[in-house]
């Protein structure tokens, strides 16, 4: 039992490292070859994890082999657009200029109900509001609404918003993010004074952030949670 426990930990660490080396895409954004490799890695790891009669390296070596294959295919995709088209496929237009492309819909085995579901996932509830809908190679649907149905932006009114920058976490669950403090050119003493304005101490803070305009958001931890 103890051997199985330690083998599971080792294989988990190996799989975690391999998946991190493969990149940061979410499952819904994986290309077909990436999804296939991910499934195979999970299967290869599960066999030596439960069967102590199989040497652990019988699982680790094939996993490393799949990682090498992934890296090679990724390099080929970067170097050759033709190879990328063969390996990953091409995007397919499901709605073109407001009209559903039935031929592509049947080719991709997409039903009208599935298309409507994907549109709702993009906050579009009316088929008549769509100018283009493109099925990407990752399986996600990109939706472009008709010009008169799109959300307005400041540029439409000749308004130039102030630069907002990106927010930084200053404290998470009572722990000070010193790297972020350094990135914004501040120190702990400055942070402590700012937090005291909220009648708190840094260690009492659940989350504290600062945005590009210098505005601080702060929330106190609940007692007993």
Give 184-222 as a DSSP string: TT--HHHHHHHHHTTT--GGGEEEEEE-TTS-EEEEEPP
Asked if 191 and 176 count as a contact pair (C-beta separation under 8 A), the reply is yes
Q: What residues does 207 pair with on adjacent strands? A: 172, 219
Reduced to 3 states (helix: H, G, I; strand: E, B; else coil), residue 124 is coil
Last residue of a domain, one of 39, 61, 86: 86
* Domain assignment of residue 156, yes or no: no
* Domain assignment of residue 74, yes or no: yes
Cα 190 from Cα 216, distance rounded (Å): 12
Last residue of a domain, one of 149, 176, 196: 149
Closest CA to 47 of 14, 8, 77: 8
Q: What is the pLDDT of residue 30?
A: 66
Q: What pLDDT band is residue 150 in, cutting at 50, 70 and 90?
A: confident
Last residue of a domain, one of 66, 86, 106: 86
77 and 108 together in one domain: no
Reduced to 3 states (helix: H, G, I; strand: E, B; else coil), residue 125 is coil
For 53-88, what is each residue's pLDDT tens digit?
778 787 788 888 888 888 888 888 788 878 877 777
Cα 19 from Cα 25, distance rounded (Å): 10
Give the gyration radius of the chain's Cα atoms: 25
Q: What pLDDT band is residue 157 in, cutting at 50, 70 and 90?
A: confident
* Domain assignment of residue 141, yes or no: yes
Residues spanned by the domain of 13: 2-86
Number of compact structural domains in the chain: 3
**Mean pLDDT of the 168-181 span:** 93
Q: What CATH number is given to the structural domain containing 208? A: 3.30.240.20
For 16-67, what is each residue's pLDDT tens digit?
777 677 665 555 566 667 777 778 888 888 877 777 777 878 778 888 888 8
For 90-125, what is each residue's pLDDT tens digit?
889 999 998 999 999 998 888 888 899 999 988 888
78 and 45 together in one domain: yes
* Domain assignment of residue 44, yes or no: yes
* Domain assignment of residue 225, yes or no: no
Q: What is the pLDDT of residue 31?
A: 67
Cα 41 from Cα 17, distance rounded (Å): 12
Closest CA to 141 of 157, 120, 166: 120
Average pLDDT value over all residues in the chain = 84
């Amino acid at each position: 039992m103890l051997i199985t426990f330690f083998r599971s930990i080792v294989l988990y660490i190996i799989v975690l490292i391999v998946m991190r080396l493969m990149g940061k895409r979410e499952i819904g954004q994986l290309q077909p070859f990436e999804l296939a490799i991910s499934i195979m890695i999970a299967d290869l790891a599960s066999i030596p994890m439960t069967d102590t009669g199989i040497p652990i390296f019988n699982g680790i070596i094939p996993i490393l082999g799949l990682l090498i294959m992934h890296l090679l295919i990724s390099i080929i995709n970067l170097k050759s657009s033709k190879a990328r088209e063969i390996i990953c496929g091409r995007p397919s237009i499901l709605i073109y200029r407001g009209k559903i492309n039935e031929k592509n819909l049947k080719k991709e085995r997409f039903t009208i109900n599935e298309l409507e579901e994907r549109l709702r996932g993009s906050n579009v509830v009316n088929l008549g509001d769509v100018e283009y809908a493109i099925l990407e190679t990752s399986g996600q649907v990109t939706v472009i609404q008709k010009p008169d149905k799109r959300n307005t932006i400041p540029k439409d009114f000749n308004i130039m918003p102030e630069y907002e920058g990106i927010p930084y976490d200053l404290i998470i669950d009572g722990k000070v993010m010193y790297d972020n403090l350094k990135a914004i050119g501040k120190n702990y003493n400055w942070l402590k004074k700012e937090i005291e304005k909220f009648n708190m101490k840094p260690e009492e803070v659940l989350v504290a952030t600062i945005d590009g305009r210098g505005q601080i958001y702060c929330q106190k931890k609940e007692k007993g949670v």
